[in-house]
Chain A
Amino acid sequence: MPTMLRLGAMAPFLSFLAPLGVLAAGVDKTHGVPPNMVSRYVPVKSSSSETWKCLDGSKEILWSSVNDDYCDCSDGSDEPGTGACPNSTFYCRNEGHIGSIIPSSRVNDGLCEAECCDGSDELPGVCPNVCKEAGEIYRKTQEEERKIRKKGSKIRSSYIAFAHKEKKRLEGVIETSTQEIAVREKEVARLRDIVERSESLSAAALEHKKTSPLYESLIMHSNALKSLQQEHKKHLEREKALGDILDALRRGYNPNYQDMAVLEAVRGWESLAGLPHINDVGKDEEGSHEEAAIKTEVEGEEELEEDMWTAEELEKDLDNLLKTDYVSLLLEHEKHVNSPVTDSILLDLSSYLPDTLVPQYEAFRDTLVSWLQTLGIIHGAPQSAGEDSKMRQTLNDAEHSLRLAKDEKKRAEDDLNDLFDPKGYGAEGEWKKLDKTCLEKDTGDYTYEVCLFDEAKQKPNKGGQTFSLGKFHSWNPDSQPGDPAYYVKQVYRGGTKCWNGPNRSVVLILSCGTDNVIHTVAEPEKCEYHLTGTTPALCLPLDTPEGNKDEL
């Protein structure tokens, strides 16, 4: 029974209640019901009463209980037009504009919702119907957006064209390298055949040679050096990190705190690193002073014994040294020991002979060599080992070239796959053009740079360290590849670690625009950067389904 009907008959002292029912009495049963649901809001008539079933079927209520500003149904379906149920929604028709749905918490709360330009979410008279104006503004913005989209999508199609051109280029590369591979494979097969033949003879000998104390010691040295290098690198990294921490302390500590422990730490670091005391440094020239200071200090320290490697050599040449082919070296060595005088051209000759002559030459050489040995001109023994090694080198070189060719092909194939991969440069390849394109935003203290699909950086404008904010990691992880929402977010991860914090990272939020620009930079959490920007790559053509979304 509807509350209000009852009230008319009430005792006089209760007549004040009349206004309480304005809402209930004035609300149409389909108020707030979306068009596709209106057909469900009809009473079931029987002789005695009109009833209605909650949409979830949980309860049958009086038809008069629908939209009476009291929540009867657990699913909230009996109050589509009031705020009585916490879990229901309200549909605003917004004639002259576009209909929309709001949560029941916004119905009859005294505020005119922007989503309900017809004012139907509030009691009559509270909110004016502004759908005409809202519609106009909406259409205007839509038009402006359309214009941007139109212009942007043209640029985008040029990106797609670029991708197709790129595709052609890559296909060309693949074809060329396929041919090259075929040639090189033959070559490798031939060389391998030769090497295997000769090496099968000497494998046992080689094993024996490897037991040479010199070789074993060499390998041990090499391993030790490798470990040392690794350890050294680790320490360098630690030293760098420690230096960064101490530098931050030195620049950031507050001398007025009078904390002697801190002061001592700063002084100690300054003396160790050859820095002037921070308080004595004029703020402006701070940087240059220090660099100069570091240099003099570093030079002063370097007192090397003769033949010892400089730090520079260690850094540059140690890797190469460690890459030495020790087996070849062993064989070289043997050769060297066995032929102290001449470096016989004879034994090396095979490298200079045309491939077709090699077998004949080898036969000839073997004869020649045994003859020479007999004469004592050259020493006997495993001369062929050196020869094997040379052959091996030739084979290695050939294999290397083959690998290069294969790599090039693989790269081209991968690029080609990525090119139109929804997880890569987009289904139409529209992002390829922007690969490694760097966008910058100057925020005063820092310039933020994102090289798309590559790396993001924070570069201080007034001197200091540039930090990596991370390498490209993925598109929007909360969305599916191919989805438009997938391409509005790029994630860069694994940047320089923050002191006492995480590794720096970036989320780049993009939208359609005619330029590739970063608009805003924010750090909502320590060392997590949020950047927004625009790109034409997101300007879908106006005639795609996504282009015509007309919902609020």
Chain B
Amino acid sequence: MVRPIVLLFLLCVPSSFAVKTSDFKTCAQAGFCRRGRALASRAQDNASWKSPYSVDSSSISVAPDQALFTAGVKSSLYPDIKFSLDVRIHDDGVVRVRMDEVDGLRKRYDEAASWALIAEPKLSREITWTVGNKDVRAIYGAKKENEVVVNLEPLRISLLRNGKEQVVLNGRGLLHMEHFRTKEIPRPEDTPEEGLDEDDVQVVMQVKPTAWFEGETEDGYWEESFGSNTDSKPKGPESHSLDITFPNHGHVYGIPQHATRLDLPTTTGENATYSDPYRLWNSDVFEYLASSPMSLYGSIPVMHAHSAESTVAIFNAVASETWIDVDHPTTKSSSTHWISESGILDVFLMPGPNPDEIFKQYTRLTGTPALPAHWALGHHQCRWNYISSDDIRSVQKRFDEHDMPVDVFWLDIEYAEEHKYFIWDKKTFPDPVDMTRDVEALGRKMVVIIDPHLKRTANYPVYKEASDLGVLVKSKSGDAEYEGWCWSGSSAWIDFFNPGAWEWWKGLFKTTSQGDKWSWVESTENTYIWNDMNEPSVFNGPEISMPRDNIHYGGWEHRDIHNINGMLLPNLTSQALVARSDPPKRPFVLTRSFYAGSQRFGAMWTGDNLGTWDHMAVGIYMVLANGIAGMTFGGSDIGGFFGNPEPEMLVRWYQVGAFNPFFRAHAHLDTKRREPYLLDEPYRGMLRDILRLRYTMLPIWYTAFHDASIYGIPILRPVHESIHFLMMPHYVVFPRDEAGFSLDDQYFIGGSGLLVKPIVHKDVTEIDVYIAEDQVYYNYFSHVAYRGSAKGKHVTVPAALHEIPLLIRGGSILPTRERPRRSSPLMKRDPFTLRVALDKTGYAKGQLYLDDGETFSHLEGNIVWREFVAEKTVKKAKTIKITSSDLVSKNLDTAVDGVSLTKYDPLNAFARSVESVRVEKIVVLGLSSKPVSVKVEGGEELVYEFTPGVAAEGKKEGQASVLVIKDPGVSITKDWAIVIQA
């Protein structure tokens, strides 16, 4: 949901659909960003620029048998100020660099990483630092391919691979950590003497010895105003600046969330696309632009740098406002400049060397995306607002009448009396539990919104308890609770940094009475949660958020923790949902705001998008960018939150949504209703087909989610080659194919081999799809075979309104469930269809992961994880054998998230519950000739139909040959083999 009706009213000249950019700062309006950019431009103009920071070689201390060293750092600008440096290498090769001010006037915020990291990383014990006169070095890696070099004067840190620099810190000398200082009150003798004009004063000031680096004036050091808000900035300047250079990588991706292309456009240098740096400051931006470096709802300071040789990444664990300039000095290199308002420097360098390894390294730091409940992959229907329990019932009825599958109905803020979340408005929702039961009766769930702002009224038990517990955010004085304005009017915000709030918050979600403590007895275990407005959004606050000088637990200012503030709410809410039931069920929490590590707690969406083609397109890039930064379970509002999309646009938007991990339709209060059953034919039928297509593919999605949820532990042992992305952009799948490095409008679904290019333009009837390899690809629907080329090739695929450009990569086996049902839990006992898409050598493989989809019993081995392989029995033979084999016993360490199974029982409770589920059909694409016999190994002939056509082997394009094997009757849980004799 969101941005307000009220603001709409205040700001909006009717039909002006655009953000009021003046509500949000540009770099020039933020003192520290202005200083940071000025620093960069002074450096650029000064050929003899040299960083004032250096390591004090006498202070270097190497930890015994650990890949860690610490040292003191000095700045020639302020010889009396002490800094510390801490460089360590983790057991998976990730390098962490930390720098802090020591014995300063105050303490810098140093807890950002502790919220982002899943655990304290283990240090390597196999690496030794070599301390020399000029540098400290360490060489490591299986082939000694990696090297970290810390130059002492000036301080410069680089990570090399095979002698080539991958990433360099402070290579441009922009490193700066503003030390804490006391505000100087001008003494009488400082005031200009009579007769001196201002220019003379300027001359006097120019002799300031630090001016060459910091500039002549104290620009925005203390109090700053923006609009009608004033930031008191009692701690003064404390920003830091760091240049991060990728001398050998011409493409950078990541640092979500921005509405822009995946391959990040430049912000500085010649012909820069944007004039402002990318900004990370979680913001509720009303009607955001479809192409802009402005900050949005979430921030993940993770950047991939990529070239055909290697991929490397950095994670800058900072929670304060951060601006990032991006430039490509040459087409083969990238340079970035990071400017943050407060906190310590804490940067992780991930050596790669390919996107998949990056993902492993990153998820070992911040956790893998949680394996969601299976139903969460279904179709979600939302609107601001379904206005009553009868409205929900009637929407459900209409879906069922039109036999359109849907799993979840959502309630936005209007269910809550006076926007007191948890408290049902009994005028319109007199029977919330009965309503939920009616939805549950068809295997469905409810998701209800709970926002972090609490209406300040004593008759609201949640506010009263929070107030009594003293767990509300405080205003700048530090003693009174902060009052701001949000949906509920005068509101207070829960401070989830306060551990005192945690158990209390978890208790609220209990569905049974908890004595004198309030709990949500008017909910059921099928009521799941949507956390919105958690940037936090404050209507009357600076930039629609909280004042930076507000005080959180531990005395930290809001400025220090702003970008991680949003992730705490879904963190605690998901814990609450686990804790409310016994045995525990997997939580589902949708969040608008997020940070590195948020993937552990649930799904995100791209916020309040517009119903325009531009927004439809940028939604895909945004979900891709979030995905490579770990936040894979994402999607954008189908149809656009604002506006009334015409039927064609709505059909295309459902096609986009069906190929996003998170598949939700949502709409603003002012829009016309647009539930799919409301459209006229032929559109209604198209939407039903899309919804059904998504449901047939749930096994593919669930398997991809499973893949993404698994750590690569232990890292040094050979493991199942897992794919860690749900939506795989081209550079991830083909990291050496330069032509695909900027592609973000087509992508693969996990490791399935499905390649999709959703249509995001009007009046399209066909489209070019890029194929990066010399391989056969099949149209999912028509079975037409296309051929790519090792140099890359575009093929033209039909894309009329009822068609989705969806190709199967030769060599893939796709498990689907083809029977339409009203909701996904009702598919539990349905048989599978396997699509075997042979590659040009006559080979294919695929996998299927199944578990009960809702509890944690998968962690005890109650799973089925199969691999299907189609291959020639003997090389060059014509006989092809399709086998099903267990993957769990071969991959005990990587079968489930975070746990090493000690053994696997193929007859585990879950497997037994689905052993009667069979494969009802096998479709083989690309056989070279009609089989003479098809049988289950050791069994009788099977019934089959063969339609001749193009074979996988060879060069031809056109309708592929199709073999349909009728009902082989084999169980999905068991080993079997089917022999196709040609």
* Residues of chain A having any CB pair with chain B under 8 Å: 1, 3-4, 6-7, 9-11, 13-14, 16-17, 19-22, 68-70, 72, 83-84, 86, 103-106, 108-111, 248-249, 252-254, 256-260, 262, 443-444, 500-501, 520, 522-526
Contacts and interface: CB of A to CB of B under 8 A. Distances in A.
B391 interface: yes
Contacts of B670: 500-501, 526
B5 to A, nearest CB: 9
Given A14-B936, A14-B939, A16-B974, A3 B403 contact: no
B644 to A, nearest CB: 10
Contacts of A19: 915-916
B933 to A, nearest CB: 14
Contacts of A524: 387, 391, 673
Nearest to B920: A70
Interface in B438-452: 441-443
Contacts of B826: 109-111
Interface stretch (B42-50, B356-364, B815-823): B815-823
Given A14-B936, A14-B976, A525-B672, A3 B969 contact: yes
Interface string B224-241: 000011000000000000
B828 interface: yes
B921 interface: yes
Nearest to A72: B966
Nearest to B12: A500
A167 to B, nearest CB: 40
14 contacts: A14-B970, A16-B915, A69-B967, A70-B967, A105-B821, A109-B821, A249-B9, A256-B490, A256-B540, A259-B10, A500-B12, A501-B670, A523-B387, A525-B671
A19 B971 CA distance: 10
A256 B485 contact: yes
Contacts of A105: 403, 819-822
Interface string B1-36: 000001011101010000000000000000000000
Contact of A254 (B539, B821, B966): B539
Nearest to A532: B390
Nearest to A265: B10
B539 A257 contact: yes
Contacts, number: 126
B876 interface: no
A260 B442 CA distance: 52
Given A17-B970, A105-B403, A522 B821 contact: no
A526 B387 CA distance: 11
Contacts of A109: 821-822, 826-827, 829
Nearest to B972: A20
A28 B391 CA distance: 41
Contacts of A14: 936, 938-939, 970, 976
Contacts of B10: 253, 257, 259, 262
Interface in B936-982: 936, 938-940, 943, 966-967, 969-971, 974, 976
B298 to A, nearest CB: 25
A17 B971 CA distance: 7
B14 A1 contact: no
B669 interface: yes
B775 interface: no
B916 A526 contact: no
A86 B939 contact: no
B391 A106 contact: no
Contacts of A252: 6, 9
B940 A9 contact: yes
A11 B938 contact: yes
Contacts of B228: 258-260
B427 interface: yes
A86 B827 CA distance: 13
A19 B918 CA distance: 10
A20 B822 contact: no
A284 to B, nearest CB: 18
Contacts of A256: 484-485, 490, 539-540
Contacts of A4: 969
B574 interface: no
B966 A70 contact: yes
B950 to A, nearest CB: 23
B741 to A, nearest CB: 41
Nearest to B937: A11
B388 interface: yes
A405 B920 CA distance: 81
Contacts of A1: 943
A256 B442 CA distance: 45
Nearest to A6: B940
A511 to B, nearest CB: 15
Contacts of A111: 441-443, 826
A10 B936 contact: yes
A52 to B, nearest CB: 15
Contacts of B391: 522, 524
A85 to B, nearest CB: 9
Contacts of A260: 228
B971 A522 contact: no
A80 B112 CA distance: 61
A125 to B, nearest CB: 14
Interface string B683-726: 00000000010000000000000000000000000000000000
Nearest to B405: A105
Contacts of A106: 822
Given A254-B6, A256-B484, 8 more contacts: A21-B969, A84-B819, A105-B822, A253-B10, A257-B485, A258-B540, A522-B388, A524-B391
A111 B388 CA distance: 26
The 8 lowest CB-CB distance pairs between A and B, nearest first, are A11-B938, A109-B826, A20-B918, A256-B485, A257-B540, A19-B916, A105-B820, A70-B967
Contacts of B966: 70, 72
A22 B829 CA distance: 13
A213 to B, nearest CB: 50
B819 A10 contact: no
Contacts of A11: 938-939
Given A108-B829, A110-B828, A86 B967 contact: no
A444 B829 CA distance: 48
Contacts of B830: 83
A104 to B, nearest CB: 8
A249 B818 CA distance: 54
A108 B6 CA distance: 50
A70 to B, nearest CB: 5
A363 B671 CA distance: 78
Interface in B353-407: 387-388, 390-391, 403
A400 B228 CA distance: 69
Contacts of B921: 70
Contacts of B540: 254, 256-258
A102 to B, nearest CB: 10
A470 to B, nearest CB: 17
Nearest to B969: A3
Interface string B709-747: 000000000000000000000000000000000000000
B16 to A, nearest CB: 11
Contacts of B976: 14
B697 to A, nearest CB: 15
A86 to B, nearest CB: 5
Nearest to B8: A500
Given A1-B943, A9-B940, A259-B10, A525 B673 contact: yes
Contact of B819 (A86, A262, A522, A525): A86
Nearest to B968: A3
A526 B8 CA distance: 15
Contacts of B967: 3, 68-70
Contacts of B387: 522-524
A110 B916 CA distance: 14
Contacts of A9: 939-940
Contacts of B818: 86
Contacts of A258: 228-229, 540
Contact of B940 (A10, A69, A84, A249): A10
